[in-house]
């Protein structure tokens, strides 16, 4: 395996770095004749012969996944080999694989090789073929390859005839013995997945080309250690150009075999993820003045070290704000276009992600080019995962029979990707167990590349074959123990953490508080970047994102376990992505001397100041912007804090005062557009006095007007009426079943205002089995004991419902104080039996089903996106005007969505401005959807739901909560939120006002 490069015939072409323009390049992408069979023993024989009749074969475009083009069905497996769901087949008899359902694809293509390639070496490049490939040319067998995530290259010179048509035939199996080493937790697609082409090389020239950058001990001056492997005797000219295309230095070497050169550069610009400065090194093979070939290579000067339990880049203990990324596209599977890759990098940079782990295999070479160019630290992982064999004695890592396999996959990963400055760690594989085979891999890599370090999760914190401690999903206490244990000397970088499945990543800030506190805790890689589901046709032709169980009658049982992304399959940021962007940001603001208008700005960057950004600030009074300003120049050096004075003026002692700070990109930089908010903070100058605010609204509840009438004669209803309103109670349930003001019904007929303790379980709720543990709260047996009313001295009427809830051993009281304007003060009070053991609940609050027409929301609280008690740091307090349609986020599987927290007041309105305003004596949460909880709740077990298939209800379901349980973060199979974000069984009391609004008018 050689490093990734292309040899051009001229300097001009080399400068463009577009191999497609070279006369030495011939694409094999496009239409191939294709035959697919279900079972391996039915594959065609002799199809590689030139006279084989393929008239009955189909056409298939290369590259392409079979399963997304009608050949077979997608299979996902989290743990276990790709055949585990196939009629219950789950054997582990390596190296054998099933014959039945081991699909085989056979390819044929005729190509005319350019006549002027005669006398040159001609090679075929097959970018990625899953799971293996056999190659024939003009009827002759050429070779075989597995290791599906790296290119297979074969020398076709003896088999091809330049100037004539040549037949290339390939055969690919769904499974092979290599599948035991490619048991990654992702969709198992088959086919040719990356670009394929022929290329020609001079018989004499550069066969491999390695560059190792280094910096001196002061990180000032640099060196390039250049290693060349030559075929024949050659004269090589090495020229280094800076980013402005100015020649920095040059050197010439002559000889054959292995040659080396050392280039010294005075104070070069350094490469980091923050400052991804690249030089270009040209290696030209010359014959006198004639150029025979030119190889361009991007070079970054940087130094990787481990000292004092920290991983250092150019001497600095950088924070790894990372994500794991599978190569996945919703329409093409493993076939990921260059445009899609650029989009992924752009999203990462815009959300402050600075590192990526290529889980769990080498990516397309272009991905590493992008990481070099735009600045992402890379953990480059080998294509090794034998998870299905377990981690104990059956692990293939312990079997010397497979040492060569382990070595080759690691060797090829290092050999191909060696020259990329973005790579700071080599990863030997994922979830393989540990043993002698990885010990051999570690030794080989350390000898081959002393300039980098090695990451291997299965060595844990004690193994000698990893340089960093890189666990998966450590709980917070485990993180703290490691950080505070002085005997643990390895840098701590989580290879996977914060399992972002569905509505998730509550408590994400807990990790980052510790990372910023403990020096050897340097971050980690979120699992994972993108939801893997393909676009599919669901019920009634509706587009869905499909997952296990949607494709055939043999599901693996993993459901939607492949959908753990920060972004959707189409790269729409999931709501939790914004929380990641916040905690990953590199600029932090805190208050200084408030009386002087002082703030402190901390620059968390290690290598750059803040001159690329300007700051804007806004002063808010009760959510309304009162004053604003802009600071054009920010003179804050890396890892330093500067104080700034802002002229925000005087603030009173009655209102809530907030200061919004944003840092904005001045000019486009790489893929980050001008105007992008790179960091932000909201600072509290004076908090809301909720008691005072609630009292002021209560005081507005008029005691004047027509006297309230109570109709107590109706045996089914208790009716409270005023001059322009009706509040009606059902005598069976005690709940309000009609609430009208004027001619407007505020409750949908047939529905009620009722207590609610349930939410549609999130994916992580299901993982922790909360749909079972908390089930008693889904529809508790609430029994009305007494419904009574009493007139009040202020002219209002108080109605009281008294309940027993035997299923949870609790008493419930709901008090309604109705004034002459039709406003209602509701108090929901639960008294728990302290001697009983009752599970936690999801929420404590009320549910009000309003007509669909109440589809406008105005509120003062956190927004604009959904947020939860332990995932709201990225959302700002403010005034927001939104629609109910905007509240629903279509997670791939339907679940709880749309909640807003820290609400001061909430208005639910129709287009004419009529509706209700809700106010409480403390911050509360609320949501409003055109969906019922039941429609988003799949029940005791997941039931193949898809958000796109859930039909809207003809209603607006409003939930007003004192509190709702937070969201899990650590993992999706057991984790719970931190205790302070749970809703334990105990006494609760929740009071809120419902104030009718007639013709609400919004002033800007």
The C-alpha atoms of residue 752 and residue 957 are separated, in whole angstroms, by 11
Helix (H) or strand (E) holding 14: helix 11-16
Residues in the chain: 1004
The C-alpha atoms of residue 150 and residue 698 are separated, in whole angstroms, by 69
Please name which of 936, 901, 965, 502 lies closest in space to residue 770, comparing C-alpha atoms: 965
Torsion sign, CA atoms 855, 860, 861, 864: positive
Helix (H) or strand (E) holding 156: none
Q: How many CB atoms lie within 10 A of CB 686?
A: 15
| 449-450-456 Cα angle (round to 5) | 75
* Structure tokens that stand for 50 in this block: 């030139």
Q: List all residues 6 or more positions away from 86 whose beta carbon is below 8 Å from its beta carbon.
A: 75, 98, 100, 101, 554
The C-alpha atoms of residue 583 and residue 320 are separated, in whole angstroms, by 12
Task: Decide: 349 and 586 in contact? Cβ < 8 Å.
Answer: no
Q: List all residues 6 or more positions away from 735 whose beta carbon is below 8 Å from its beta carbon.
A: 729, 752, 753, 754, 801
From the list 239, 431, 656, 721, the catalytic residue is 431
* Structure tokens that stand for 377 in this block: 């630290």
Q: Give yes or no: 151 in active site.
A: no
Q: Give yes or no: 164 in active site.
A: no
B/e letters for 200-219, b = 16+ CB within 10 Å, e = fewer, are bbbebbbebbbbbbebeeeb
Tokens 């939930």 identify what position? 959
Q: How many CB atoms lie within 10 A of CB 861?
A: 24
Task: Decide: 255 and 236 in contact? Cβ < 8 Å.
Answer: no
β-bridge partners, 124: 154, 198
B/e letters for 886-908, b = 16+ CB within 10 Å, e = fewer, are ebbbebbbbbbbbbbbbbbbbbb
The C-alpha atoms of residue 300 and residue 294 are separated, in whole angstroms, by 19
From the list 67, 327, 385, 496, the catalytic residue is 496
Q: List all residues 6 or more positions away from 494 whose beta carbon is below 8 Å from its beta carbon.
A: 470, 471, 472, 473, 474, 523, 524, 525
Task: Decide: 389 and 396 in contact? Cβ < 8 Å.
Answer: yes
DSSP string, 399-448: -GGGHHHHHHHHHHHHHHHTT-TTEEEEE--SS---SHHHHHHHHHHHHH
Alpha helix segments (H runs only) across 812-961: 933-936
Give phi and psi for 29, each to the nearest 5. -65, 160
Task: Decide: 252 and 235 in contact? Cβ < 8 Å.
Answer: yes
DSSP category for residue 762: P
The C-alpha atoms of residue 433 and residue 438 are separated, in whole angstroms, by 9
Residue 462 has, within 13 A of its CA and on its CB side, a CA count of 1
The C-alpha atoms of residue 873 and residue 732 are separated, in whole angstroms, by 43
Task: Decide: 263 and 314 in contact? Cβ < 8 Å.
Answer: no
DSSP string, 639-691: T-EEEEE-------SSS-EEEEEEEEESS-BTTBPTT-EEEEEEEEEE---HH
The C-alpha atoms of residue 281 and residue 249 are separated, in whole angstroms, by 10
Q: List all residues 6 or more positions away from 888 whose beta carbon is below 8 Å from its beta carbon.
A: 897, 898, 929, 930, 931, 947
The C-alpha atoms of residue 761 and residue 942 are separated, in whole angstroms, by 10
Please name which of 333, 349, 355 lies closest in space to residue 526, comparing C-alpha atoms: 355
> Which residues participate in catalysis according to the annotation?
431, 496
């Amino acid at each position: 395996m050689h490093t990734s490069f292309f040899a051009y015939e001229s300097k001009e072409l080399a400068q463009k770095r577009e191999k497609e323009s070279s006369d030495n390049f011939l694409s094999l992408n496009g239409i191939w004749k294709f035959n697919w069979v279900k079972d391996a023993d039915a594959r065609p024989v002799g199809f590689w012969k030139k006279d084989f009749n393929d008239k009955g074969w189909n056409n298939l475009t290369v590259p392409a996944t079979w399963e997304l083009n009608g050949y077979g069905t997608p299979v996902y497996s989290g743990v276990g080999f790709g055949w585990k769901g196939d009629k219950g087949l789950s054997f582990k008899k390596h190296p054998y694989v099933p014959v039945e359902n081991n699909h085989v694809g056979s390819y044929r293509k005729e190509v005319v090789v350019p006549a002027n390639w005669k006398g040159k070496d001609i090679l075929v490049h097959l970018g990625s073929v899953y799971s293996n490939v056999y190659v024939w040319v003009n009827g002759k067998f050429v070779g075989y390859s597995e290791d599906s995530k790296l290119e297979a290259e074969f020398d076709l010179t003896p088999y091809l005839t330049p100037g004539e048509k040549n037949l290339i035939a390939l055969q690919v199996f769904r499974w092979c013995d290599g599948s035991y080493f490619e048991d990654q937790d992702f969709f198992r697609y088959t086919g040719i997945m990356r670009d394929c082409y022929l290329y020609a090389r001079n018989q004499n020239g550069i066969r491999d080309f390695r560059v190792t950058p280094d910096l001196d001990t002061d990180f000032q001056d640099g060196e390039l250690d250049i290693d060349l492997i030559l075929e024949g005797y050659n004269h090589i000219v090495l020229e280094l150009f800076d980013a402005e295309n100015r020649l920095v230095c040059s050197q010439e070497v002559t000889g054959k075999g292995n040659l080396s050169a050392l280039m010294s550069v005075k104070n070069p610009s350094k490469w980091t993820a923050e400052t991804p400065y690249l030089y270009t090194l040209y290696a030209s093979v010359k014959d006198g003045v004639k150029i025979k070939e030119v190889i361009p290579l991007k070079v970054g000067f940087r130094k990787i070290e481990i000292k004092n339990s920290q991983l250092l880049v150019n001497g600095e203990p950088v924070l790894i704000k990372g994500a794991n990324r599978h190569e996945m596209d919703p329409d093409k599977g493993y076939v990921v276009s260059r445009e899609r890759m650029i989009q992924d990098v752009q999203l990462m940079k815009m959300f402050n992600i600075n590192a990526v782990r290529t889980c769990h295999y080498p990516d397309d070479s272009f991905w590493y080019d992008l990481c070099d160019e735009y600045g992402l630290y890379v953990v480059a992982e080998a294509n090794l995962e034998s998870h299905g064999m377990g981690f104990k004695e059956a692990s293939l890592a312990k079997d010397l029979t497979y040492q060569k396999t382990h070595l080759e996959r690691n060797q090829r990963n290092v050999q191909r990707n060696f020259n990329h400055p973005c790579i700071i760690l080599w990863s030997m594989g994922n979830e393989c167990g540990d043993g002698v085979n990885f010990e051999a891999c570690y030794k080989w890599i350390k000898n081959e590349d002393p300039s980098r370090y090695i990451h291997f999760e299965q060595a844990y914190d004690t193994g000698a074959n990893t340089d960093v401690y890189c666990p998966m999903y450590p709980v917070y206490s485990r993180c703290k123990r490691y950080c505070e244990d002085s005997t643990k000397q390895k840098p701590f970088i989580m290879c996977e953490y914060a399992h972002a499945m569905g509505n998730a990543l509550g408590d994400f800030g807990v990790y980052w508080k510790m990372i910023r506190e403990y020096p050897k805790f340097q971050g980690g890689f979120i699992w994972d970047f993108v939801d893997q589901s393909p676009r599919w046709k669901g019920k009634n032709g509706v587009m869905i994102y499909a997952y296990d169980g949607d494709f055939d009658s043999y599901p693996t049982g993993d459901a939607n376990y492949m959908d753990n992304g920060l972004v959707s399959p189409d790269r729409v940021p999931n709501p939790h992505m914004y929380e990641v962007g916040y905690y990953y940001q590199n600029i932090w603001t805190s208050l200084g001397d408030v009386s002087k208008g002082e703030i402190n700005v901390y620059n968390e960057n290690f290598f750059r100041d803040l001159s690329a950004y300007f700051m804007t600030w806004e002063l808010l009074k009760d959510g309304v912007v009162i004053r604003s300003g802009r600071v054009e120049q920010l003179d804050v050096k890396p890892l330093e804090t500067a104080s700034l004075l802002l002229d925000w003026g005087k603030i009173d002692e009655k209102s809530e005062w907030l200061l919004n700070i944003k840092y904005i990109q001045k000019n486009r930089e790489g893929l980050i557009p001008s105007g992008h908010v790179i960091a932000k903070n909201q600072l509290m100058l004076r908090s809301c006095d909720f008691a005072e605010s609630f009292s002021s609204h209560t005081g507005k509840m008029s005691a004047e007007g027509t006297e309230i009438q109570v109709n107590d004669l109706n045996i089914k209803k208790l009716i409270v009426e005023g001059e322009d309103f009706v509040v009606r109670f059902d005598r069976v349930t005690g709940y309000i079943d009609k609430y009208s003001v004027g001619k407007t019904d505020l409750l949908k007929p047939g529905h009620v205002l009722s207590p609610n303790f349930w939410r549609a379980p999130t994916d992580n709720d299901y993982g922790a089995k909360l749909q079972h543990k908390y089930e008693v709260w889904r529809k508790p047996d609430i029994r009305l004991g007494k419904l009574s009313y009493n007139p009040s001295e202020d002219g209002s009427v108080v109605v009281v419902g008294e309940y027993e809830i035997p299923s949870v051993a609790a008493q419930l009281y709901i008090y309604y104080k109705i004034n002459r304007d039709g406003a209602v003060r509701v108090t929901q009070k639960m008294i728990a039996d302290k001697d009983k053991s009752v599970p936690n609940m999801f929420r404590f609050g009320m549910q009000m089903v309003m007509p669909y027409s109440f589809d406008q929301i105005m509120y003062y609280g956190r927004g604009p996106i959904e947020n939860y008690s332990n995932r709201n740091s990225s959302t700002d307090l403010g005034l927001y005007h939104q629609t109910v349609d905007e509240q629903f986020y279509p997670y791939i599987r339907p679940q709880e969505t749309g909640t807003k927290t820290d609400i001061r007041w909430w208005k639910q309105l129709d287009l004419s401005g009529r509706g209700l305003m809700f106010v409480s004596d403390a911050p509360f949460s609320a949501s409003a959807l055109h969906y019922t909880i039941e429609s988003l709740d799949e029940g005791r077990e997941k039931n193949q739901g898809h958000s796109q298939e859930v039909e809207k209800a003809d209603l607006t379901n409003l939930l007003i909560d004192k509190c709702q349980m937070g969201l899990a973060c650590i993992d999706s199979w057991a984790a719970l939120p931190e205790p302070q974000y749970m809703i334990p069984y105990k006494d609760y009391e929740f009071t809120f006002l419902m104030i009718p609004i007639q013709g609400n008018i919004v002033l800007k």
